Amino acid sequence: MKPTRTPLLLAFAAGLAMLAGCTGTNSAPSTGAATGSSSAAVAGDFQTQAMAAGREFSQCARQHNLPNFPDPVWQGGLSWPNVSKADLDVAGAACQDILRRLASIPQQVETPSAETLGHMRQFAACMREHGVADWPDPKADGTFPLLGTKYAGFAQFSGGDGIPQSVTDARGACIAFEVEWRIAAS
């Protein structure tokens, strides 16, 4: 199988086209209380947390019949270069608890421009018009408050768990508004 440099989210979301673009551009946890912290400091905290969990994931993979599974690298996000999708699938199945922990970290993206935030609001309105009545508007930071809701499957590293087909269909109908941004969950 051909090696890949694809971040783990994309490897596990293969076949789920709606998730292919669900990550933000600069994923980092939003600490909520730390509203005065710089985005660089928050990004550093996320990178540290994600790399630690990534190393734990690699160790788990090695313990589950993948003895040469490498430690991750940071390439704008958590990545395992030269690891085949098949090996990522095996590791993901064996180490789901680590992936769930990663999926529970709120995402943060660069603060969107007023125009982009307008497109995000149009997307939210479109989702509601297409049968997803409780789809939230985006927050000013460019994230959608989805963690802890039935739409938490949009969070990075979630693998799309539990997203109903009707929501996938609505997103497909509203994708025209998702141009310069991707869904990021908080």
**DSSP single-letter state for residue 142:** S
| pLDDT confidence of residue 146 | 86
pLDDT at 4 over 60: no
CB-facing half-sphere around the CA of 57: CA atoms within 13 A: 29
Q: What is the pLDDT of residues 37-92, one digit of tens each?
A: 334 444 446 677 778 888 999 999 999 999 999 999 876 667 888 888 889 889 98
Total-model pTM: 0.50
**Which tokens belong to 181?**
């941004």
State the average pLDDT for the chain: 72
Q: How far is Cα 135 from Cα 182, in angstroms, rounded to an integer? A: 15
Alpha-carbon dihedral 112, 181, 98, 79, rounded to 10 degrees:
-110
Top pLDDT among 103 and 80 is at 80
